[in-house]
Structure formats: structure tokens, C-alpha cells
């Protein structure tokens, strides 16, 4: 047997394994599922704030006291829209039946101890906040507050 023949040996079980692997990949198990990036419409600052105020169920200033993969809970300092609840919980992501958590790049990321101006919408029966909305940290929120205070003064619930 020459040296070239040693490299060209054929084992039928190798071909079946290759065909199974390719079928597995082609049927979708080896192809990542579609990823959806959050696409936000270009709007001016004023358009974003006024439009989000109109569409939001709750608009408030609050400090995050609890945050995990599914919820962020706020101690509310002031309210522009809705009731005077002293605590509000907004949902982030969605718990799936299989125990996994489905998240989106559109979900707003909150941090414990930080204060925000929040525009919360009701989606699937839960309050949620989008990255595309006017929600901002309070350090940037004074501009939002000034714009909102002109037609609808906020109701302070706490001294801050």
C-alpha cells in the first residue's frame, strides 16, 4: 500500500455522521435564532417627552430600591401622571415557561440607588419601560422635569 492510499480510506459510518450533523445544522439547531435589535425612531427631545407623556400610563420620579432580571421597584418621589402610589414596580424581560428569562435590547436597564424620571407603559398587563422612551436618570432628568412641569406640575410625594 502506498502512502497516498492511507489518507484516502473510506469508512461509511463517517459519512453517516457527517450527514446527520449537516441535517441537524440545516434544520435550525445549529443556526442561531433571529436576534432583534431595538430600533428607535429619531425624535427631538421635545417630541420624545411629549409623545411619551401622552402614551405612558405612569410618569414619575423615583429611586430604584430593588432590581433583578425581571423587575425594578421604585420608591416614588413625585408624580406627573396617574395615582400617588409611593412604590411602583416595572417589569424587565419576561419569565418563560421553561424557566429561562427572555430579554430584549429595548428593555431599560435600571440600577439600585439611582433616581430616574420614568415613563411606564402597560404591555401585556404589566408596566414596562423602553430604551426608546424618554426615561432618563435624574441627573439628565431635570430638563425633562422642566418640560413636563410647564403644562402639568408634578405632585411631590417626598421631600428631595
Q: Which three cell numbers mark 149?
A: 412641569
pLDDT in tens, the chain (160 residues): 555 544 445 455 555 554 544 554 444 444 443 445 677 888 888 999 999 999 999 999 999 999 987 899 999 999 999 877 899 999 887 777 887 767 777 778 899 999 999 999 998 888 989 888 899 999 988 889 899 988 778 888 765 4
Q: Which three cell numbers mark 81?
A: 401622571
Note if the pTM is more than 0.85: no
Query: Hey, what domains does the chain have and what are their CATH numbers?
Result: 45-156 (2.40.50.120)
- The CA-based dihedral angle spanning residues 107, 111, 117, 120, taken in that order and rounded to the nearest 10 degrees: 30
Amino acid at each position: 500500500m502506498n502512502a497516498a492510499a492511507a489518507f484516502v480510506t473510506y469508512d461509511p459510518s463517517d459519512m453517516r455522521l457527517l450527514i446527520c450533523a449537516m441535517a441537524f445544522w440545516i434544520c435550525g439547531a445549529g443556526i442561531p435564532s433571529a436576534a432583534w435589535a431595538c430600533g428607535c425612531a429619531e425624535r427631538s427631545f421635545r417630541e420624545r417627552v411629549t409623545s411619551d407623556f401622552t402614551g405612558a400610563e405612569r410618569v414619575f420620579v423615583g429611586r430604584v430600591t430593588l432590581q433583578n432580571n425581571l423587575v425594578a421597584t421604585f420608591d416614588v418621589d413625585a408624580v406627573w401622571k396617574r395615582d400617588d402610589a409611593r412604590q411602583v414596580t416595572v417589569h424587565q424581560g419576561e419569565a418563560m415557561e421553561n424557566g429561562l428569562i427572555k430579554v430584549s435590547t429595548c428593555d431599560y436597564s435600571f440600577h439600585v440607588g439611582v433616581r430616574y424620571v420614568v415613563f411606564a407603559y402597560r404591555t401585556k398587563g404589566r408596566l414596562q419601560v423602553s430604551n426608546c422612551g424618554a426615561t432618563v436618570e435624574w441627573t439628565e432628568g431635570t430638563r425633562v422635569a422642566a418640560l413636563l412641569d410647564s403644562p402639568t406640575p408634578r405632585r411631590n410625594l417626598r421631600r428631595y
